[in-house]
Structure 1
Amino acid sequence: MYKYFKKISLGNWILIGMILGFIVGLFLNFYVNDPFIKNTVFIDNIFYLGGTGFIRLMKMLVVPLVFFSIVVGVSSISDIKKIGTIGGRTILIYLVTTALAITIALIIGMFIKPGMGLNLVATGQSASVTINQTMSDTILNVIPENPFTALANGDMLPVIIFAVIIGIILAQLKEEVQLISDIFDQSNKIMMEMTSLVMKFAPIGVFCLMAKTFAGLGFEGLLPLGKYVLCVLIGLAVQALLVYPSLMVVFTRLNPIRFFKKFFSVMLFAFSASSSNATIPLNIDKLEEMGVSREVSSFTIPLGATVNMDGTAIMQGVAVMFAAQAYGIDLGTSALITVIFTAVLASVGTAGVPSVGLVTLTMVFNSVGLPVEAIGMLFGIDHILDMFRTAVNIAGDAICTIIVSFKNKSMDVDVFNGKKESNVNRIKFGDLVA
């Protein structure tokens, strides 16, 4: 029996925790009338302790995880100088597509309103958010007056900027600060391992959060969750079937339908693996079959697995609208701009492993003061959505790589169009930027 349970994946355990929490919560809501047992014993103590304890563990991870991840991520792209315009174009396209993704998600969330009807304030939770900042204040708040204060207080935008600056300097100094670079790299590995450890408690945390929520809400809480899933899937479909093909046609005049036919097997693998990193070798090989130089894709695809998380950005944008509407918070223009900016920068520090986007979602919530407790409701259904958004992520990496390769004349268009067999000439980076 133990061996059977051991084979169940973490994602499935989280889903089981969500379902059980939903059932237990409804049972307490409709069949337990004793206020001492229902409220004092379960809701205010057992479920509160388990749910809040897990949320605090998540909060504990956010600042160091994002800080070390971004420092390591930025410092690792020191090859940008070596490859010149290829690196610049790649970073620019990745950041633009991520900004488009989060903007699309926010717009969809505004129209469909996934959090409406889920009155989380009524369950005893509260929220506050600053929405009346001027544009100047929003920009100035990004600059850390004291980076250590920002780290201590969890002010994520200043932390991100500080981490980016350190990463750039490490990339420039290279061997002169190799010891410091190694320390950051090892610290990042420690935080990733700690994240894996904390995530093992996710099924218990999700169970307690779901039970506590539905013990007071009932069936009416299901509709908002369904609308949340619908919003994310619509956003992913718009990004994959409209934004990416449009960019491909505008910049290369290549047929996106031909691309998706050839690339579908890679997307299917990414869907099942839920990991951008695990798909890197398959992605590079498939692009080479399409006529893309491996020397280009071997740089852009691993970079994309780190900094190009459009699917994750869509999930985070919808989650922001979900939480704001559920708590009755009207986010102002400056707050929405902050969400876009934070989500784009957070994508730089989001590792290409399953469900880590929910950890950095805590950072996005903190940037505009939204209660992170709402994230607990999204854990149980995130594993399914993670499969879809990973497929979108790696498709975005591939199309951006095709655009960059095409613009740098390092792509055999005839191979892509099926006019001849793949026989890519191995072009060196020095030749590309000459």
Structure 2
Amino acid sequence: MKKLALHWKIIIGLILGIVWALLSSSLGWSQFTIDWIAPFGTIFINLLKMIAVPLVLFSVISGVANIGDPSSLGRMGGKTLLAYLITTVLAVSIGLTLVNIIKPGALIDEESRIDNRISYEIWAGKQGYEIKDGINYLEDPKFVERAQRITDLSKSELEDVAVTEKMKTANQTKDAGPLQPLVDLVPQNFFKSLGENGLMLQIIFFALFFGICLLFIPNETSQPVTKIVDSIMEVFLKMVDFVMQAAPFFVFALLAGVVSKMAGDDVGKVYEIFKGLSWYSLTVVIGLLLMIFVVYPLILKLFVKKIPYAGFFKAISPAQTLAFSTSSSAATLPVTMECVEENLGVDKKITSFVLPIGATVNMDGTCLYQAVAVVFLAQLHMIDLTLGQQMVIVLTATLASIGSAAVPSAGLVMLIIVLDSVGLNPAWIAIIFPVDRILDMIRTVVNVTGDATVSSIIAKGEGMLHYQEHDPSETFDLDS
């Protein structure tokens, strides 16, 4: 077992979790699974949430602060950040468009979705969250009775949850003005933001502000702070690594618990869950393939006419192959740099600046997947997110991508952040866990392709692109 790569162990864990959920559902052991196995999945989520907030804080500060002296960035730095921002917003927009057209979460059995909706309202009431679409199923007596069948709460407790949520919503919306979202972005007390749910945008705002200010103070003053921030970020990345080493067991418990809670003792509901996952996966894959084979080539054609469609993919295919196999933009970075320099003819001055920034801030594939995942999970729980709430997803996913570490499973941590930002249950990540690994591999290819595209555009604008079509195998050995 020790010789197996971690992702294979995780896959084995999730398969065993599904098998156990099916077995316990068919034998009527779902309650045992919920009481004695599911809590370990909750521990896993709590560990990731514990790490996620400080990881984003220090990653964003580090990513901004390590851009360098703002006076030396000039035109090239501005172009680079703008290009990465545009491609990220495009990716999220494509994801939201597809998930709203296909509606993968609405394609499963309605009875299962009603149970999911009731569970969501109970969770939101306990956490003090606003019900996103303003509809409260627990106010209907027939749903209260149904809720009692799928939870251990009494009728009075369920009614208290509904009333508490309703009053909270009324108090929040009563005096809100049109610029309230902008006001909410800026924290009164940063340390309070660290300790409360749903305030991740405030933390990201502070981190961006802090990192930018580091760029504008003397290097001898900022350097010690930057080193400390980088070191702390490495500690949290190591914490992620340790948690992920235990992920196979946690994934087993998480998946077994979530599927058992959703299915109860009805095995047919498990089938409905995975039918929904197939549509979800298809939606994500369509979006990712559109980014790779349509969006990036169109952008390249618009700004860099000299690189042909086939030539571009031939040039970066070694980097794409490695990205698919490692699921890590950081691990692929040396190969990406060599492909872009040797095969696309981008000057080393460009690649040494643009590509490392891209490995940190350009997470187009991850952002697209997060947008689809959040809306899919909302649809699965019969939550109708408004356009404004989906824009919050765009903003959070885009800003969180700056702090999304370029390592496998970082997207999972960021998804927890995005779910939390729109008041949805972070534990729902267990629902999409079975297909996360293969989607992670494809979205890393998107990230690397985006890095190569942007670096070519910047090189063209700076007069540092010297593309000549040739066989990339002549300059790069895949086996090396």
- Report if TM-score (shorter chain) is over 0.5: yes
In structure 2, C-alpha distance between the alignment counterparts of 1:178 and 1:130, rounded to whole Å:
43
1:368 to 422, 425, 428: 422
Q: Is the 8 A contact 2:364 2:450 kept in 1?
A: yes
Relative distance call for 1:228 and 1:80 in structure 2 (3 A) is farther
SS in 1 for 2:442: helix
Q: Is the 8 A contact 2:38 2:256 kept in 1?
A: no
How many Å apart are 1:130 and its aligned residue? 4.0
Superimposed CA distance per residue, residues 138-172 of structure 1 (whole angstroms, 9 cap, x where no aligned partner): 22221222211111114100100000111111122
Partner of 2:208: 164
Relative distance call for 1:300 and 1:269 in structure 2 (3 A) is same
SS in 2 for 1:416: coil
Q: Is the 8 A contact 1:270 1:387 kept in 2?
A: yes
Relative distance call for 1:79 and 1:177 in structure 2 (3 A) is closer
Whether 1:311 aligns to 2:365 is yes
Partner of 2:255: 210
In structure 2, C-alpha distance between the alignment counterparts of 1:291 and 1:80, rounded to whole Å:
27
Structure 1 stretches of 4+ moved >6 Å:
none
Superimposed CA distance per residue, residues 287-323 of structure 1 (whole angstroms, 9 cap, x where no aligned partner): 1122110111111001000000001011101111111
Partner of 1:143: 186
One-letter amino acid matched to 1:73: G
SS in 2 for 1:328: coil
Q: Is the 8 A contact 1:14 1:379 kept in 2?
A: no
Partner of 1:240: 292
One-letter amino acid matched to 2:3: K
- Residues paired across the two proteins, number: 409
2:43 to 53, 72, 81: 53
1:153 to 192, 196, 204: 196
In structure 2, C-alpha distance between the alignment counterparts of 1:314 and 1:38, rounded to whole Å:
34
Matches within 5 A, 1:268-279: 268-279=321-332
Q: Is the 8 A contact 2:318 2:335 kept in 1?
A: no
Matches within 5 A, 1:50-129: 50-116=40-106, 117=108, 119=113, 121=116, 124-125=119-120, 126-127=123-124, 128-129=130-131
SS in 2 for 1:240: helix
In structure 2, C-alpha distance between the alignment counterparts of 1:407 and 1:213, rounded to whole Å:
51
Partner of 1:258: 311
Q: Is the 8 A contact 1:80 1:88 kept in 2?
A: no
How many Å apart are 1:51 and its aligned residue? 1.5
Partner of 2:382: 328
Which segments of 5 or more consecutive residues in structure 1 lack a partner in the other structure?
Answer: 424-434
SS in 1 for 2:104: coil
One-letter amino acid matched to 1:227: W
How many Å apart are 1:178 and its aligned residue? 2.5
In structure 2, C-alpha distance between the alignment counterparts of 1:169 and 1:28, rounded to whole Å:
55
1:191 to 233, 236, 242: 236
SS in 1 for 2:216: helix
Greater shift after overlay, 384-393 or 197-206? 197-206
Greater shift after overlay, 344-353 or 135-144? 135-144
Partner of 2:437: 383
2:6 to 7, 10, 31: 10
Superimposed CA distance per residue, residues 173-206 of structure 1 (whole angstroms, 9 cap, x where no aligned partner): 2221332222211111111011111122322222
Partner of 1:221: 273
How many Å apart are 1:256 and its aligned residue? 2.6
- After superposition, the CA RMSD in angstroms is 2.1
In structure 1, C-alpha distance between the alignment counterparts of 2:303 and 2:229, rounded to whole Å:
38
Matches within 5 A, 1:388-399: 388-399=442-453
Which segments of 5 or more consecutive residues in structure 2 lack a partner in the other structure?
Answer: 125-129, 135-172, 264-268, 476-480
Q: Is the 8 A contact 2:13 2:248 kept in 1?
A: yes
Partner of 2:143: none
Greater shift after overlay, 248-257 or 101-110? 248-257
Partner of 1:288: 341
Q: Is the 8 A contact 1:301 1:398 kept in 2?
A: yes
Q: Is the 8 A contact 2:315 2:340 kept in 1?
A: no
SS in 2 for 1:409: coil
Q: Is the 8 A contact 1:114 1:321 kept in 2?
A: no
Q: Structure 2 length normalisation: TM-score?
A: 0.81
Q: Is the 8 A contact 1:78 1:172 kept in 2?
A: no
One-letter amino acid matched to 2:196: N
One-letter amino acid matched to 1:165: F
Q: Is the 8 A contact 1:301 1:401 kept in 2?
A: yes
